[in-house]
Structure 1
Amino acid sequence: MNKKITKPDLKTYLNIHDYLKDLYEFRKGTEPGFSYEVWAYELGLSNRSFLRQIIVGRRALTNQTSKVICDHLNLDSVEREYFNLLVLYSKARTAEDRNLYGRRLRQLIRLDYAQDEMKDSAKFVLKSLYPRLQTLLSFNDINKTVESLAHLLRLPVVEVAEALAELEGMDLVEKQISDKVQWQAKTKSFKVPEQLGSEVLINYHRQCLNESLQAFSRPASERRYRSIMVAMSEEEFADYLKDLEIFVKQSLGKFDRDDFHGRKLFQLNFNLHAVTEEGASELPTL
């Protein structure tokens, strides 16, 4: 079966070169004869190599080239603003500039990707299974019987049945009776309000961390682990949290799908914490 090629959604990107590269691949896969040479001709650029270097990120996107590309994309007013901000955000070199452009990008992403805030969030995060079930039940093309869901989640049928009953009690899912009882999400896109210090939320993240450790034994195609060290001031830390917020919105929008065929559900956990005390100047005195 041929893989369905989906047109990239501009407002799910945080890097202009990534967007242009995916747009090129989409057009090449859907328009016979499309190439860098064809695209360069459409844009009035004399050199296809120049366009390719821009798209793959080897050359900066100049203001003039940016305007030419934007004018040919048939964007609405909000998308044009997002495109231009994305160019500036991708080229920003200072935290101040990234914060300035990032703040406006977050506002536009919020307008584009709505999430329902969980009213009974304390119950919802009691088990990591609840959000996973809620997400699975939002897809249109899977068998949503208890047995099928248990198979997908690699869990006992009894455990999944109990979880579905809890979600039904929270008014988040409902039964649909045909030949067999199927379940359906009443809320597709959701978020849990941040409650720093909440014991329930701490226990939820503890569950997720333990499950992440257990996933070490799974094939490499199903898990990745990365760890980096960066030094940040309080202001830089706050700015980085905003970058993470943008990334979350971008990921939710980019992978918002109605079909589950050929996919697996992945969970991404962010763990960010200080490992030292704040540094003080220790230059030798003369």
Structure 2
Amino acid sequence: MTVNIYTYSNYREYLKDFYSFKKQEKDGFTYARFSEAAKLGSPNYFKLIADGEKNLTSANIIKFTAALKLSDLESDYFEALVNFNQAKDFMEKEYYQKRLERIKGMTSGNFSSQKNLEEAEFESISNWTYHAVMILTNLADFRESPKWIAAKLYGLVTEDEAASILDRLMTLGLLKYDENGKVVQSFKQLKTNPELKKIGARLFYEGMFKRAIESFRLNKPDERELGAYMVGISEDQLPEIRRRVREFLAEINTLALENPKPERVYSFMFAGIPLSSNEEVKGDRPWH
């Protein structure tokens, strides 16, 4: 038994039920123990939030989701639920209500049809072209033809490579034939461990960024969206920034999956990379 967060419309009620469940499940679970796990200053902070005496801040939402041991999707739901309950005007409340509905939609129907790739599986299809071919099968005019696939991918793969990609995806069970004999995806979404650090992940992202560079040659400006900001941040801001990026990309993915008749395959990426080191510099000397 677990406490299903998706059944709640009030995060404080969820916290109360979570606490009751933990007390029954495990002896010794206390507010103080939760605060320690969440790295909160006050040992009674959980109770103050659950009882409505305090509101959760953005920084503490992150700490709560970690201590509650929520999945990425559950964390997104919890964050949206907190903001929905704490919203101060109708427009803000409506925005978060729609977000809650979208997230709940991802837990049922087509969105539950997903496969978590093991590291070995991911490494065997680490080239971006495998993933592009899988998405191509969703297009109305898709043809099980290496020549057609090669042309659709701007000739960046040969016909032999396209045939090999189809074979590999079929062998792995990631593509299949439907009742009409059409090649389709076996799963609506593929997911990997977000902490995947093996060589396959590196090759995948290297390939995607090389393909992004190719877009300057292959695509018109109005077919792509590129932008960059260089900003100064502190280390304690990074978890919140990363959470917002994941949330934004998940919303784009959800919006795209709602389209029953896709026409092209797109990749939306975000690159947040340190341009300066946080190592202490010793022995510096004046410019002049």
Which category of TM-score, normalised to the shorter sequence, fits these structures? 0.5 to 0.7
TM-score of the pair, normalised by structure 1 = 0.55
Give me the whole-angstrom Cα distance separating, in 1, the residues matched to 2:187 and 2:159: 23
Q: Pairwise CA RMSD of aligned residues? A: 3.9
From the superposition, tell whether residues 197 and 149 of structure 1 become closer, same or farther in structure 2 (CA, over 3 Å): same
From the superposition, tell whether residues 197 and 87 of structure 1 become closer, same or farther in structure 2 (CA, over 3 Å): same
Give me the whole-angstrom Cα distance separating, in 2, the residues matched to 1:90 and 1:240: 25
From the superposition, tell whether residues 104 and 148 of structure 1 become closer, same or farther in structure 2 (CA, over 3 Å): same
Partner of 2:107, secondary structure, is: helix
Question: Paired residue for 1:268?
Answer: 268
- CA drift of 1:279 comes to 9.0
List runs of 5+ in structure 2 lacking aligned partners: 1-76, 91-96, 281-288
Letter in 1 for 2:200: V
List runs of 5+ in structure 1 lacking aligned partners: 1-77, 92-100, 281-286
Measured against aligned partners, the alpha-carbon deviations of 1:58-116 in whole angstroms (never above 9, x if no partner) come to xxxxxxxxxxxxxxxxxxxx9xx86972993999xxxxxxxxx9x98996575364443
Question: Paired residue for 2:185?
Answer: 185
- CA drift of 1:219 comes to 0.8
Kindly tell me the number of residue pairs found equivalent between the two proteins: 188
Partner of 1:193, secondary structure, is: coil
Higher RCO (CA-CA < 8 Å; seq separation 6+)? 1
From the superposition, tell whether residues 143 and 134 of structure 1 become closer, same or farther in structure 2 (CA, over 3 Å): closer
- Counterpart of 1:170 (choices 169, 172, 183) is 172
Measured against aligned partners, the alpha-carbon deviations of 1:231-271 in whole angstroms (never above 9, x if no partner) come to 222221101111112112211111112212xx322111221
Percent sequence identity is 14
Partner of 1:190, secondary structure, is: strand
From the superposition, tell whether residues 246 and 153 of structure 1 become closer, same or farther in structure 2 (CA, over 3 Å): same
Give me the whole-angstrom Cα distance separating, in 2, the residues matched to 1:122 and 1:259: 30
Please say if residues 143 and 182 of structure 1, whose CA atoms lie closer than 8 Å, have aligned partners that are also in contact.
no
Instruction: Summarize the alignment of residues 70-81 of structure 1 with structure 2, pairs less than 5 Å apart.
Output: none
Give me the whole-angstrom Cα distance separating, in 1, the residues matched to 2:195 and 2:271: 16
Letter in 2 for 1:185: Q
- CA drift of 1:206 comes to 0.9
Letter in 2 for 1:197: K
Give me the whole-angstrom Cα distance separating, in 2, the residues matched to 1:240 and 1:89: 23
Please say if residues 82 and 105 of structure 1, whose CA atoms lie closer than 8 Å, have aligned partners that are also in contact.
no
Question: Paired residue for 2:236?
Answer: 235
Please say if residues 136 and 142 of structure 2, whose CA atoms lie closer than 8 Å, have aligned partners that are also in contact.
no
Please say if residues 122 and 200 of structure 2, whose CA atoms lie closer than 8 Å, have aligned partners that are also in contact.
no
Partner of 1:255, secondary structure, is: helix
Partner of 2:254, secondary structure, is: helix
Give me the whole-angstrom Cα distance separating, in 1, the residues matched to 2:172 and 2:247: 29
From the superposition, tell whether residues 165 and 235 of structure 1 become closer, same or farther in structure 2 (CA, over 3 Å): same
Instruction: Summarize the alignment of residues 59-138 of structure 1 with structure 2, pairs less than 5 Å apart.
Output: 85=84, 88=87, 108=104, 111=107, 113-114=111-112, 115-119=114-118, 120-125=121-126, 127-138=127-138
Letter in 2 for 1:132: A
Letter in 2 for 1:247: F
